[in-house]
Structure 1
Amino acid sequence: MTQTEIAIKMVLDRWIGSILNFNKHLNELSDEQLQREIATGKNRGIYLLGHLIAVHDDMLILLGIGEKLFPELNEPFIKEADRVAPQIPSASELRVMWVKHNEMLQEKFEKVTADEWFAKHTAVSEEDFLKEPHRNKLNIIITRTSHLQYHTGQLVLLK
């Protein structure tokens, strides 16, 4: 295994570990518990779950590996704050979307080559990428893993 392949494996292993950790905590919560606020006046657990699905859906575009699976989640979970959208999917519907999305992402990640991981993502121009080659697809996984871990820490507060 080359140094590049080791680096990619390290990043993807951390992504998978973070998904599994989030799943563990999510599965310990009831749908009713997901309706509670993380802290007074803050987002509810159900909003965090929808938000993560929507953010991970954006990764498909950023990585150039597909179209959004759940584009209808963008408005209520990225553009809007919690409780602003008149209607959102139920906790049980979001749980199913979460599992489906993670399975699909995993399948797509397994097909990305080492060279592709170090290619530019779709939100960076060719000109900027020449100056900042770290703005690559693998870096998207790193930032989204940190984002996921942050929200996992919030979700734990619902217990």
Structure 2
Amino acid sequence: MDQQQLFVKMAVDGWNQQLKFTNDTLDKILDEELLNEISPGKNRGIYLLGHLVAVHDLMLPLLRFEEALYPELVQPFIKAPDKTVADLPPVSQLREQWNIVNDKLAAHINNLSPADWFTRHNSVSEEDFAKEPHRNRLNVLMGRTSHLANHRGQIVLLVPKSK
């Protein structure tokens, strides 16, 4: 395994591990429990789940895989703060979208060659990428892994003490 393959394997393994930890956490929380705030005055679980679905969905075009599946989630879960949008999708729908978007990402992630991980992502021009080659797809995956871990750390506060 060369160094490039090793870096990609480490990053993809970290992503998969955080995704598994998050799924395990979500499996311990009932839909109605996701309607609770993480702590008084803070985001609700439904908002964090919707936010993660929207962010992961936007990874599809950002990593130049395909168009986003759920662009309608950007407004309520990325652009607007929690509790400012009256009509959010039901938790059951967000859970389904979470699984669908992560399955799509996994299919693309698992088919990308190590060399392709070091190519530019969709938010950087060819000219800027030539000057800043660290603005690549692998860097996006590593950043989104940290983002996922951060929000999982919040969601875990909703897990009932008995689980």
TM-score normalized by the length of structure 2: 0.94
SS of structure 1 residue aligned to 2:31: coil
Amino acid of the structure 2 residue aligned with 1:132: E
Match of 1:3 in 2: 3
Deviates more, 1:81-90 or 1:20-29: 81-90
Please list the CA deviations of residues 42-79 of structure 1 after superposition, one character each: whole Å capped at 9, or x if unmatched. 11001000000100111111111000011111111011
Match of 1:141 in 2: 141
Unaligned runs of 5+ in 2: none
Match of 2:91 in 1: 91
Match of 1:79 in 2: 79
TM-score normalized by the length of structure 1: 0.97
Distance of 1:20 and 1:72 partners within structure 2? 26
Shift of 1:86: 2.2
Amino acid of the structure 1 residue aligned with 2:67: E
Shift of 1:104: 1.0
Mapping for residues 1-159 of structure 1, pairs under 5 Å:
1-159=1-159
Hey, which bits of structure 1, 4+ residues long, moved more than 3 A? none
Deviates more, 1:108-117 or 1:40-49: 108-117
Distance of 1:119 and 1:135 partners within structure 2? 8
Shift of 1:158: 1.2
Aligned pair count reads 159
